[in-house]
Structures are given as structure tokens and as C-alpha cells.
Homo-oligomer: A and B are copies of this chain.
Amino acid sequence: MPWKDGTGPPWLHGKFKGCGYRMTMPRQIILDVLSGTTEHLSAEDIYHKVHSAYPSIGLTTVYRTLELLVHAGLIHKFDFGDGRARYELVEGSQNTGHHHHLVCTGCGGIIDYADFIDQEIELLKKTEKGLSKKYNFKITNHLIQFYGLCAKCQKQ
């Protein structure tokens, strides 16, 4: 987790404290909501879920907190092409960690997929290494999504 002002090494020391961030109730609850789901929630989804436990929450705070968490590397922000961003914990109790997505262009549904075969991971590493060298590009992350039709939408 990077220091608030952008300097300093990226250790994950506690969660917020120790890096200049304050752990407040809204932040706590937003993290709780994200920890307790496997869905791909939008900012407004999160706002509504938080609202039931903490009615005074403002949508602005949700956006601000999500931005903070993305910057801190605790959550990922995705775009599945429906005009709103989706957020999910990088690693959570529900979440098994890094995964890729199958996005249904029919209904907008999303399937997580993390059962990579060894060959897949190996090649990905190899590819990243090759690209880094060839283009002198320091890769920090990747996004892999497959688009198509889910079982349900194929029938219609």
C-alpha cells in the first residue's frame, strides 16, 4: 500500500493506518461489503448496500473511497462495457484471488474463471517477459476478458 502522498515503498502495513490514512466507519463498511460478495458491484450497488448499515453515507464518499482503494491496490476497477465501473477486492475471503472474466454480451452476466492450467500461467509470464524486453515496457498488471454468449443467452 503506497504512502498517501505517493512516496514511500508499497508495503501492506495493516490496512490504512501506518500509511497516513484514517480508518473510518464508511471505509470500514465499504470494505466489509466488498469482502462479503463475489459479485461485480458498481459504485451505486455498493452505495445501496452500505446505506442499509450506515444510512448517512453519501455517494461521493463511496466514489472517493473506491478511488482510494484502487490507488492503494486493494481493489480492482473493471469496465465490462455497460457504462459503469465495477469493483472487486484483489483478494478476499470469498474471492480466490486473481482471475479472468467471461463477459456475456447478451445479458451482461459475468463469469469468473481462475482455474488456469499451468501452461497458461507459464506462457503468460513468458509473454510478459518478452513484451517487457521488446518494448521496454514495465508490466504491472493485465486484463483478460472473453466475450460471447452464456448458456442461457445462446438458447434465445
Which A residues lie at the B interface, using CB under 8 A? 77, 79, 81, 102, 104-105, 111, 113, 117, 119-120, 123, 127-128, 130-132, 135-151, 154
| In-complex Cβ contact of A145 among B102, B123, B143 (8 A) | B143
Copies per assembly: 2
Bound-state CA distance A136–B102 (Å) is 11
Q: In the complex, which residues of chain B have a beta carbon less than 8 angstroms from the beta carbon of A138?
A: 148-149, 154
Chain B residues closer than 8 Å to A146, beta-carbon distance: 128, 131, 137, 139, 141-143
Contact call B151/A136, Cβ cutoff below 8 A: yes
A102 to B117, CA, bound (A): 24
B147 and A145: CB pair below 8 A?
no
Q: With A119-B123, A120-B127, A123-B119 known to touch, is A141 a contact of B135 (CB < 8 Å)?
A: no
- For A131, give its contact among B113, B142, B151 (CB under 8 Å): B113
Looking at the assembled complex, report how far the CB atom of A150 sits from the nearest CB atom of chain B, in whole angstroms: 6
On whether the beta carbons of A148 and B140 are closer than 8 Å, the reply is yes
Q: Are A149 and B140 in contact (CB under 8 A)?
A: yes
B135 engages A111 (CB within 8 Å): yes
Partner of A147, one of B79, B127, B143: B143
**A151 touching B127 by the CB < 8 A rule?**
no
Q: Which residues of B contact A145 (CB under 8 A)?
A: 142-143
